[in-house]
Structure 1
Amino acid sequence: MSQMSESSILESEELSFLNEVMFSRLPEGNQVQPSFTLDGDQEHSEMLGRLGQAASMQMVAQFKNRRLIFPLQLFQDEFNRLTMELQAPQIFETGPTMRQWRMQPQLPLRLLEACGKEAELKVHDISLSGFSVTLPEHEGPAPEKLELQLELPECGSLLPLSGAKVRRIDQQTVAYNLLFDEPDLEQALGRFLFEQHKQQHPEWEMPDVTPKSSEMAESA
């Protein structure tokens, strides 16, 4: 499932229908991870379990000029029942070239130094692959590497950001590649970006991808 043809890509209407059928909406504040149980005999369950461990599975959805790639993760309970869950997607802009969607914050995002002091740099845009910052006026040469913390306003947590300078976009804007030391950090940023994307496009009716409570406790 890691490689799909163009005919395997879900259009927005199809994903909306899938969302309605598979993911019942609970009262506000009780979001759950989108999931569904895979029915089958023990032989098929074992085969799917081995496939989930050995291969990268994903669901691809197309929304106008956006392509969302949702990783799929299999879980097996004590009764050998398999459950498949949607993880936060990678979001791409389609066109002449396909590239990671860059979120330009509608409200300023705070960058903090290791000591907790607010950095003078401001987030101009950010994606899963990189980010660009606006330098203060009359700032000297941009640092080759950045080690900062991004404050995620909705959950109040801090996300470490490590970046390597790519290029200077203009006199005050510099682009950096993102470097992740741990997969959990990339997943946390992916969830944040997906939530921001949903807020900007509520008409697309995309599913929620809230992590399990145990996963949230581990990443806290």
Structure 2
Amino acid sequence: MSYETLLTQDELDFIQSVHQNPLLNPRDVLSSLTVKGGTQVRDLLTRLAAHEHVTIQAQVADQKMSFPLRLVEDEFHAQHLQLGAPSIFEEGPVIRPWRLTLAEPVALEDVRARPGYLWITEVSFKGLLVDVRNNRRPPRQFSQWFSPTGYERIAVRATLERKTEEGFYAYRLSQRDVDETERLRQFILQQHRLAHPALHA
């Protein structure tokens, strides 16, 4: 019995290269974690990750990254340790989350992808700096969609903290969905790579 080849070797090589390209698969960049040091260390980390909030810290220049360590189950019900996208902090007189200043403000959208009067000017994994337009009052809370160019939209929930001297409004993120939180962190990490390529070389 002869079998017909569905894909050529060139097509298979291309699919493999796309799958392994971290720029095309940003969620996979930090996903795998190999633990050296024997089964005792791996077992300890696995037990901790199953019951506690575990992070791995990295310090580079004046920035600190905190990677969450999670226990995930694959399709064969085997458990693996996996790194999530990091929380990025800037050190100075006060340690604060790294803020991405957007080149152009991005309008928050409703569920039907219609832009509203809230425009994001800065984003961090903890909060947003928002420009409230059209002489509207800033809402106490909102649940909208953040759609930066070239990225899948991200659901954001936030609560008003204060008005800044520049007339913007600082909102504290209160994400409930773990996947949305991870997607926001992935977006911030990708932008951090672009802003600080030497740290990610």
> Alpha carbons of 1:200 and 1:110: their partners in 2 closer, same or farther (altered >3 Å)?
same
How far apart are residue 47 of structure 1 and its match? Answer: 4.5
Written as runs of structure 1 = structure 2, the 5 A alignment for 1:47-86 is 47-75=44-72, 83-86=80-83
Write the deviation string for residues 23-76 of structure 1: whole angstroms up to 9, x where unpaired.
xxx4563663432333645x7654443233123322211122211101123457
| Unaligned runs of at least 5 residues, structure 1 | 1-25, 207-220
Residue 181 (structure 1) shift: 2.1
Which is worse superposed, 59-68 or 115-124? 115-124
Q: Is residue 92 of structure 2 the alignment partner of residue 104 of structure 1?
A: no
Distance in 2 between residues matched to 1:178 and 1:30, nearest whole Å:
26
Trace 1:107-126 onto structure 2 (pairs within 5 A).
107-126=104-123
| From 168, 179, 184, the counterpart of 1:173 | 168
SS in structure 2 of the partner of residue 104 of structure 1: strand
**SS of the residue aligned with 1:192?**
helix
Which of residues 153, 170, 174 is equivalent to 1:158?
153
State the structure with more CA Rg: 2
Q: Which has the higher contact order (CA 8 A, sep 6+)?
A: 1
- Whole-angstrom distance in 2 between the partners of 1:169 and 1:45: 46
2:197 pairs with 198, 202, 210, which one? 202
**Alpha-carbon RMSD:** 2.9
| 1:187 alignment counterpart | 182
Letter in structure 2 aligned against 1:168: K
Change (3 A) 1:75 1:180: closer
Q: CA-to-partner distance for each residue in 1:90-138, whole Å, 9 max, x for gaps? A: 011111111111111124323112343211322121112111111226x
Count of equivalent residues = 178
Secondary structure in structure 2 of the residue aligned to 1:29: coil
Q: 1: distance between equivalents of 2:46 and 2:166?
A: 52
| TM, length-normalised to structure 2 | 0.74
**Any idea what SS the aligned residue of 1:120 has?**
strand
When residues 141 and 47 of structure 1 are mapped into structure 2, their CA distance, relative to the original with a 3 A threshold, is closer
Residues 65/72 of structure 1: CA separation in 2 closer, same or farther (3 Å cut): same
AA paired with 1:88? A
1:191 deviation in Å? 0.9
Seen in structure 2, the aligned counterparts of structure 1 residues 69 and 146 have a Cα distance that, compared at 3 Å, is: same
The alignment-based identity, stated in percent, is: 24
| TM-score using structure 1 length | 0.68
8 Å Cα contact 1:93/1:99 also seen in 2? yes
- Any idea what the Cα deviations from partners look like across 1:159-200, whole Å, max 9, x if unmatched? 222221111114641111111122222111111111111111
Pair 1:148 & 2:152 matched? no
